């Protein structure tokens, strides 16, 4: 069981590593392909948008065909496509390959949550294991900038993709024996595809400022709301919508911070890739260490989300100046994320039956990736100070959603 859980966590590590390791490689990519900031944003968002668009369907597929099988196939695809990314001859090919990589990751993440939900009954043990699973995310966040910086200095940006190949092979070997029955819940393919189109249109409308994408997204949203309400009945269960909104807002700040921070540190402050990874340690270390403890804190999100607002305010005040303020802001944001994400995942997975855990996990991660795409696009188009003002305002707006709710007694 421990080896299987390690394999699940390692696969999750690989998927999230791909979102953080690339940040310090962006300047090297710019030099190699001669691209602007907008194009670099699509190298990040090509993965993020595809990941977000397919997560809901990926969760339903994991529930229907068995999370163990889906996780294995997704792992094999992720390792193979990572090799294609490393061999990309142009920026356009890299963006497309990153999008395919996002599709592979989109079936792995909800499948991993579904495996944990089915193997471990609801209760303190599951909460503890989810804390370990969340800590894996923290390790990937911490390792990404440092590992990416070392690989870029050693062999260039292509090495940041090649590292996924051995990780994927080890993951596949560790989970090869996971056999879980398929769920009788039928996949409603039409609304799943509709939801994917909606997410993609939303991201394109913001990142590409496309009126056409916005119009198509509005039409698809109206159709889903009018004719496919029962297909997404899970949204109304146990108040899940508010958790999805919180997840998206927090990821808006986090993804935008990694994108803007890497460019500022390397191009404004002239740090090397390795030095950039070290500069991110005040952010990444709390995310790596604290989840094992924050899962035991009652109402941890009530602490975490306001801390994120404070951290964004400190970073906004720091701007591009070389002082102690950026490190303080990064540390506060890191602590805030550690107090927010583990209990957020636990709240969502414990609110639905085990047979629908993959779908719920897919929706949570889809909301987070939509927030990430919007954060990169929005914050990347602003000066650093104003970018963090915007991010702080977005997170501030969801503070009421994590406040304790009073139960009315009739």
Q: For 277-318, what is each residue's pLDDT tens digit?
A: 788 888 888 887 777 676 666 678 889 999 999 999 999 988
CA–CA distance, 331 with 200 (Å, rounded to integer): 32
Cβ atoms within 10 A of the Cβ of 230, count? 8
Residue whose C-alpha is closest to residue 326's, from 379, 378, 281? 281
Tokens representing 251 are 């990821």
Residues of the chain with pLDDT > 90, as a percent, come to 16
pLDDT tens digits, one per residue of 4-63: 777 888 888 888 888 778 777 877 888 887 766 566 777 777 787 777 777 777 777 877
pLDDT score of 181: 63
Q: Buried b vs exposed e over 313-338: b needs ≥16 C-beta within 10 Å? A: bbbbbbbeeeeeebbbbbbbbbbbbb
pLDDT score of 410: 42
DSSP string covering 334-390, please?
HHHHHHHHHHHHHHHHTTS-GGGHHHHHHHHHHHHHHHHHHHHHHHHTS-HHHHHHH
Residue whose C-alpha is closest to residue 164's, from 321, 15, 346? 15
CA–CA distance, 254 with 372 (Å, rounded to integer): 7
Cα separations (Å) of 169 from 75, 181, 297?
A: 8, 24, 36
Tokens representing 182 are 């398929």
Residue whose C-alpha is closest to residue 53's, from 159, 189, 236, 198? 198
pLDDT score of 279: 84
Tokens representing 124 are 């303190």
Report the sign of the C-alpha dihedral through residues 348, 351, 355, 359, in that order.
negative
393-396, long-range: CB < 8 A, 24+ apart: 394/249, 394/252, 394/253, 395/249, 395/250, 395/252, 395/253, 395/305, 395/308, 395/309, 395/312, 396/309
pLDDT score of 407: 45
Q: Does domain 2-179+186-402 have CATH number 3.10.129.10?
A: no
pLDDT score of 233: 56
Neighbouring residues of 218: CB distance < 8 A, sequence distance ≥ 6? none
pLDDT score of 336: 93
Neighbouring residues of 144: CB distance < 8 A, sequence distance ≥ 6? 16, 17, 19, 20, 21, 22, 23, 24, 277, 284
Beta strands in 113-154 (DSSP E): none
Residue whose C-alpha is closest to residue 368's, from 281, 237, 193, 245? 245
> Interhelix angle for 325-349 vs 357-380, to 10°?
160
Please answer whether residues 52 and 43 qualify as being in contact, where contact means their C-beta atoms are separated by less than 8 angstroms.
no
In eight-state DSSP terms, residue 265 is I
Residue segments in the chain with a per-residue pLDDT below the cut of 70:
1-2, 35-39, 120-128, 130-131, 133-135, 138, 181-189, 191-192, 195-196, 203, 206-209, 224-239, 292, 294-298, 320-323, 352-359, 362, 405-410
CA–CA distance, 56 with 363 (Å, rounded to integer): 5
């Amino acid at each position: 069981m421990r080896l299987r859980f390690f394999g699940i966590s390692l696969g999750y590590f690989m998927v999230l590593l791909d979102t953080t390791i690339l940040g310090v490689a962006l300047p090297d990519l710019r030099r190699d392909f001669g691209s602007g900031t907008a194009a670099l944003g699509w190298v990040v968002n090509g993965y993020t948008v595809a990941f977000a668009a397919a997560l809901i369907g990926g969760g339903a597929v994991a529930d229907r065909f068995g999370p163990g099988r889906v996780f294995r196939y997704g792992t094999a695809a992720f390792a193979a496509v990572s090799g294609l990314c490393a061999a990309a001859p142009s920026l356009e090919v890299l963006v497309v390959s990153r999008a395919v990589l996002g599709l592979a990751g989109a079936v792995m993440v909800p499948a991993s949550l579904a495996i944990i939900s089915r193997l471990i009954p609801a209760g303190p043990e599951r909460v503890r294991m989810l804390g370990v699973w969340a800590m894996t995310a923290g390790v990937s966040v911490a390792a990404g900038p440092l590992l990416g910086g070392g690989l870029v200095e050693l062999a260039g940006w292509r090495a940041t993709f090649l590292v996924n190949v051995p990780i994927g092979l080890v993951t596949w070997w560790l989970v090869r024996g996971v056999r879980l029955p398929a769920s009788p819940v039928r996949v409603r393919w039409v609304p799943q595809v509709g939801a994917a189109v909606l997410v993609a249109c939303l991201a394109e409308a913001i990142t590409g400022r496309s009126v056409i994408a916005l119009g198509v997204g509005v039409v698809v949203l109206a159709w889903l709301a009018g004719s496919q309400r029962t297909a997404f009945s899970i949204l109304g269960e146990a108040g899940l919508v508010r958790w999805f909104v919180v997840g998206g807002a927090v990821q808006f700040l986090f993804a935008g911070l990694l994108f803007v921070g890497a460019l500022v540190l390397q191009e404004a402050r002239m740090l090397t890739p390795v030095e950039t990874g070290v500069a991110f340690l005040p952010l990444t270390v709390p995310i790596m260490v604290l989840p094992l403890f924050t899962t035991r804190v009652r109402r941890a999100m009530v602490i975490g989300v306001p801390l994120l607002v404070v951290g964004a305010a400190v970073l906004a005040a720091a701007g591009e100046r070389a002082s102690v303020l950026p490190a303080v802001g990064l540390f506060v944001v890191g602590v805030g994320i550690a107090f927010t994400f583990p209990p957020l995942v636990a709240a969502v997975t414990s609110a639905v039956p085990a047979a629908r855990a993959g779908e719920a996990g897919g929706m949570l991660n889809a909301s987070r990736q939509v927030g990430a795409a919007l954060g990169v696009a929005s914050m990347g188009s602003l000066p650093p100070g104003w970018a963090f003002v915007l991010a702080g305002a977005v997170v501030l707006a969801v503070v009421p959603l994590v406040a304790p709710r009073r139960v009315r007694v009739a």
